[in-house]
Each structure stands twice: as structure tokens, then as C-alpha cells.
Amino acid sequence: MAILAANWKLHKTTEDAVSWARAVKASPLARRCEVIVLPGFLQIPAVARELHGSQIALGAQDVFWEESGAYTGMVAPTQLRDAGCAYALVAHSERRRLAGDDDRGANARIRAALACGLTPIYCVGEDEKERSTGRFREALVGQYDVGFEGLSAQEARRVIVAYEPIWAIGSGQPANPAQAAEIAGAIRDGVFARTGLESGLRILYGGSVAPENVAGYLGDTAMDGVLVGTASLDPSEFLAMLEAVVDDG
Ligand code: PEP
């Protein structure tokens, strides 16, 4: 089943969040894909209550690597589990830019999330300059090489990678499916070299995914699903994406 992950970023009141959850869980399409919703931290408990008993999974937009201590403002893996999360984004490019998240911190977050039974969704992607100068492959190697450092093949299999070229996020200019598939292949090879994981690594594409283009990333391509920002906010647009993916087989 294709994974469709909805990253709400800094959007939605609790009321809006609950009404999205109510609308999406009511659709039979939501049972034919793996839907993961990633609300803001404060909306997680209310969305968890609304989704209780449904097949829609819940995640957070970040996770810290320590379980407790003098870390003002951080949220621990166990706190997320307690609140009903099964997933956590790690090192989204907006957090890399705004909050200083980096590959080393991502590695610590991935290990802490795995240790607590959360599935990390590790975001990697090159910027516009790296793409236009042809240095994007090298830029990405650094990200997944450090991110997966010290992980066994069994641990690596529990990580989801989201390939999100920064130039494609929120720009209306998605990477095309062939570009995404090329990078997915390189990531699989790199993670195999680093951890020995031969197969089973799940990779999502993210960056300006919409109902019109979502099917192109799935089906026969190398991707296991998509991570969607803008087009995930309106429940009817999100359901249109589910429909496109389910229709696609
Ligand atoms: C994202 O931020 O993860 C994302 C993919 O955003 P958008 O779909 O808006 O490009």
C-alpha cells in the first residue's frame, strides 16, 4: 500500500485539525493507503482521540534525542508515543533552515526514535544551487551517510526516508518522477553500503505533490509513497490524492 503522509507544518487550530481527521477517516479510501498525519504538537492529542480505532496513523513534525533533562522546548520520543504517535519527521528542510537541525542531530534523533519504537521519517534533499551545479548527488550522500551512521540493517529497515528537494518544496515545481527515482536508487545503494540493508528501505517523495501529479510517483516507480505539505491541508484535496493513488492501483 502506498504511504501518504500529510505534513501540516504550522497550520490548523485544534478544531480544524479534528475536522480534517473526521473527514478523512470517514472515507473508505483511507483504508486503501497508509495515511500518516503530522499535526503541530499541540494538536496531536485531539487528533489522536479523533483517529482512535481508525487506520490513520499519527506522527510529529520533530522529535528530540533525549528522553528527559534540561532541554527547554524539546519533545521526547516517549512523550510522542504517550500522545499516540507512531512516526516522527526528522530534519525537515524547514527545521534545518530555521532551527539548525543537521545530519548529526538527525542521526541522534533517528536512533532515539527507533529505541522508543517510533518510526523516523528522515528528510533529505538538495537545494537549488546544488541541483543547478550538478552537485546534488554529493550533497545527498553526506545527508544519508551521516543520518544512517551506526545503524544495523534491521534498524535501517525501520527508517523511512523522504527525498524532498528543497527547490521543489512549496514551489509548485516538483521534481519529475524520473529525477525522484534516480535519487531513490542512490539512497538505497548508499544505505546498503552503510548498513548492509539490501532491500526493504521505504522512500517517499516530497515537494509540490498534488492530486494532478501524485500518481506519477507511485505505481511502478522506486517510491513507496509521498510526503505532502500544502496539498494535504484541505481534506478534499487530500482525499483527491488518495483517490488518484488508489485508482492507480
Ligand atoms: C513538505 O514540506 O514536506 C512538502 C513536501 O511541502 P509541499 O507539499 O507544500 O511542497
Closest ligand 1 atom, CA of 92?
A: 3
**Residue 37: CA count within 13 A, CB half-sphere:** 35
Identify the CATH class of 3-248.
Answer: alpha beta
CA of 230 to the centre of ligand 1 (A): 6
Pocket test for ligand 1, best of 9, 38, 95, 128 (most atoms within 8 A of CB): 9
Is the C-beta atom of 110 inside 6 A of ligand 1?
A: no
Print the SS3 string covering 90-114: ECCHHHHHHHCCCHHHHHHHHHHHH
- Where in the sequence numbering do the catalytic residues fall? 92, 164
Per-residue pLDDT tens, the chain, 249 aa: give them.
Answer: 899 999 999 999 999 999 999 999 999 999 999 999 999 999 999 999 999 999 999 999 999 999 999 999 999 999 999 999 999 999 999 999 999 999 999 999 999 999 999 999 999 999 999 999 999 999 999 999 999 999 999 999 999 999 999 999 999 999 999 999 999 999 999 999 999 999 999 999 999 999 999 999 997 778 999 999 999 999 999 999 999 998 654
Domain edges within the chain: 3-248
Other beta carbons less than 10 A from residue 132's beta carbon:
11
